[in-house]
Structure 1
Amino acid sequence: MSDLSIRPVDRTDLPCLLDLYVHLDPDGARCSLDDAVAVIDQLSRYEGSVILVGAVGDALVTTCTLVVIPNLTRGAKPYALIENVVTHADHRGTGFGRTVLSAAVERAWEAGCYKVMLMTGSKKPSTLAFYEAAGFEQTKTGFQIRRAPARRE
């Protein structure tokens, strides 16, 4: 894994990042490049929040989004949410996904977060085992209301 480089996304990465998201949801609506620029600009205004990408050479192979959320409990310590975790299908099982998650968690700790959460809609044992192997525990019950239907696995 020494050839994997984890770093924040930049504007020049956006076309490749949008291609990588196809491996998360092949049927998902692709956002425009202009919308992607606006989203990373907006995310950059949330202190500690970032889209991390993992690259091998010039190829983006894994990513996740970290959002740090201000909080008035726990002594005003923020918490973090990880979303849009994906590794290119050709690179799954290499440890790249776990590495990008670890980098996101480390950034959350550096931002003073008291916890890091993520949710998955997957019921696949391999996906659940992946998150457990990355250090996450299934200790809460999650609820959601969706405006758009969930993607199918």
Structure 2
Amino acid sequence: MTDRLLIRIAQEKDVPALVAIYAADEFGHGDSTDPALLPVYQAAFTAITASTAETLYVAEIGDVIVGTFQTLSTVTLTGQGTLSMIVEAVQTHPDHRGKGIGAKMMAFCIEDARKRGAKIIQLTSNASRTDAHRFYERLGFVKSHAGFKMKLA
């Protein structure tokens, strides 16, 4: 099935399907498919697509969006001007997990990072997502740092 998987840059028409994937996440970020919130998601999509450093992707099989992720390229002065790729919001629709979709999305990210000349690819994962942690470790990611967040009002 994953041999028919297409990874492409997200389009505005994809926003409702992406929101549905985020809203189906059992760990959740407070996402909702409430139609009244669609303008908020569309505004975020517009901001992402306006950025030259960020790209939002979809993974689809046929006409069905089965996964998504976002990348951010950033250069720091540390490491002699290292280019890093940050991967965010990696989600596979719950009905399509365990089929290799996540592995193909991450392989795409890793290859894209290499093509861009990145020296590091990194991501964060909720501490309670132990299955995801095992998945990332199988792909070669190493738990090397502790992450900290502060929610702002």
| Residues 49 and 56, structure 2, Cα contact 8 Å, conserved in 1 | no
Amino acid at match of 1:39: A
User: After superposition, where does 1:3-22 map in structure 2 within 5 Å?
Assistant: 3-22=4-23
| Residues 20 and 62, structure 1, Cα contact 8 Å, conserved in 2 | yes
| Residues 48 and 108, structure 1, Cα contact 8 Å, conserved in 2 | no
User: After superposition, where does 1:31-46 map in structure 2 within 5 Å?
Assistant: 32-46=37-51
Structure 1 gaps, min length 5? 149-153
Larger mean CA deviation between 3-12 and 36-45 belongs to 36-45
| Residues 23 and 88, structure 1, Cα contact 8 Å, conserved in 2 | yes
* Cα distance per residue 1:11-41 (max 9 Å; x no partner): 1111111111123255713383333333223
Q: Quick one: which of 59, 72, 78 aligns to 2:83?
A: 78
Amino acid at match of 1:40: F
TM-score normalised by the chain length of structure 1: 0.83
Aligned residue in 1 for 2:122: 117
Amino acid at match of 1:43: I
Whole-angstrom distance in 2 between the partners of 1:16 and 1:124: 23
Q: Secondary structure at the match of 1:105?
A: helix
Q: Quick one: which of 112, 121, 137 aligns to 2:142?
A: 137
Q: Quick one: which of 58, 64, 67 aligns to 2:63?
A: 58
Residue 10 of structure 1 deviates from its aligned partner by 0.6
Q: Secondary structure at the match of 2:3?
A: coil
TM-score normalised by the chain length of structure 2: 0.83
* Cα distance per residue 1:33-89 (max 9 Å; x no partner): 333333223223333421111101111111111111232233323212211111111
Over aligned residues, Cα RMSD in angstroms?
2.2
User: After superposition, where does 1:92-111 map in structure 2 within 5 Å?
Assistant: 92-111=97-116
Whole-angstrom distance in 2 between the partners of 1:99 and 1:60: 14
Residue 6 of structure 1 deviates from its aligned partner by 0.6
Q: Which has the higher helix share?
A: 2
Amino acid at match of 2:40: D
Percent identity over the alignment is 26
Whole-angstrom distance in 2 between the partners of 1:134 and 1:126: 13
Residue 130 of structure 1 deviates from its aligned partner by 1.0
Structure 2 gaps, min length 5? none
